[in-house]
Amino acid sequence: MKGKWVYDYKQDTDGTVVRYKARFVGCGYSQRAGVDYHEIWAPCPARATVRAVLAYAAAHDLELDTVDIKTAYLNAPMDTEVYVDLPEGYSGGGPDTVAKLRSALYGTRQAGRLWGEHLCATLTAAGAQRFVADPTLYLRSLPDLGRVLVLAHVEDLAILGQTRAAVDAAKATILTRYKGRDQGHAATFLGMRIFRDRERRTLTISCPGLVKGVINAFGMAEAHPAKIPLPPGTALTRTDALPLDDSGRYQELVGSLLYLAVTVRPDIAFATNALARHMSRPTEPLWRAAKGVVRYLAGTVSLGLQYGGPGELEGAVDADFNGCPDTRRSTTGGAFIYHGGATSWSSKRQPTVACSTAEAEYIAAAAATRDALWLKKLMQDLGEADRPVPMVEDDMVCLALIANPEGTGRVKHIDTAHHFVRERAALSEVKSHYQPGSELVADGLAKALAGPALMAFRHRLGTVEVGEPTEQPTAE
pLDDT tens by residue, 204-241: 999 999 999 999 999 999 999 999 999 998 888 877 77
pLDDT at site 406: 57
Distances (CA, A) of 374 to 139, 202, 318, 363, 368: 18, 25, 19, 18, 10
SS (H, E, C) the chain: CCEEEEEEEEECCCCCEEEEEEEEEECHHHCCECCCECCCCCCCCCHHHHHHHHHHHHHCCCEEEEEEECCHHHHCECCCCCEEECCCCCCCCCCCCEEECCECCCCCCCHHHHHHHHHHHHHHHCCCEECCCCCCEEEEEECCCEEEEEEEECCEEEEEECCHHHHHHHHHHHHHHCCEEEEEECCEECCEEEEEECCCCEEEEECHHHHHHHHHHCCCCCCCCCCCCCCCCCCCCCCCCCECCCHHHHHHHHHHHHHHHHHCCHHHHHHHHHHHCCCCCCEHHHHHHHHHHHHHHHCCCCEEEEEECCCCCEEEEEEECCCCCCCCCCEEEEEEEECCEEEEEEEEECCCCCCCHHHHHHHHHHHHHHHHHHHHHHHHHHCCCCCCEEEEECCHHHHHHHHCCCCCCCCCCCCHHHHHHHHHHHCCCEEEEECCHHHCCCHHHHCCCCHHHHHHHHHHHCEEECCCCCCCCCCC
pLDDT at site 380: 92
Cα 106–53–394 angle (5° rounding)?
Answer: 115
Q: What is the mean pLDDT of residues 5-32?
A: 85
8 A C-beta contact, residue 311 and residue 202: no
pLDDT at site 415: 63
Q: Phi, psi (5° rounding) for residue 177? A: -85, -35
pLDDT at site 313: 94
pLDDT tens by residue, 353-385: 998 898 899 899 999 999 999 999 999 999 888
Domains and CATH numbers, the chain: 3-190 (no CATH), 208-465 (3.30.420.10)
Q: Is the pLDDT of residue 405 over 70?
A: no
pLDDT at site 311: 83
Cα 208–199–266 angle (5° rounding)?
Answer: 35
Percentage of the residues of the chain whose pLDDT score is greater than 70:
95
Pairwise pLDDT comparison (56 vs 11), residue with the higher score: 56
| 473 — pLDDT class (breaks 50, 70, 90) | very low
Q: Is the pLDDT of residue 413 over 70?
A: no
Instruction: Choose among 146, 158, 83, 64: nearest CA to 383.
Output: 146
Which strands form 389-393's sheet, in the order they lie side by side?
341-349, 331-338, 314-320, 389-393, 430-434
| 468 — pLDDT class (breaks 50, 70, 90) | low
Distances (CA, A) of 363 to 46, 201, 240, 440, 453: 23, 37, 32, 17, 25
Which strands form 303-308's sheet, in the order they lie side by side?
188-189, 192-197, 202-206, 303-308, 463-465
Q: What is the mean pLDDT of residues 59-83?
A: 94
Average pLDDT in the chain: 90
Cα-only R_g, the chain:
24
| 416 — pLDDT class (breaks 50, 70, 90) | low
pLDDT tens by residue, 86-115: 888 887 777 788 899 999 999 999 999 999
Q: Phi, psi (5° rounding) for residue 169? A: -65, -40
| 408 — pLDDT class (breaks 50, 70, 90) | low
| Torsion over CA: 425, 418, 445, 234 (sign) | negative
Burial 282-302 (b: 16+ CB within 10 A, else e): bbeebbebbbbbbbbbbebbe
| Torsion over CA: 42, 186, 200, 212 (sign) | negative
Q: Is the pLDDT of residue 409 over 80?
A: no
Q: Is the pLDDT of residue 164 over 90?
A: yes
Q: Is the pLDDT of residue 14 over 80?
A: no
Instruction: Choose among 369, 372, 351: nearest CA to 48.
Output: 372
pLDDT at site 258: 96
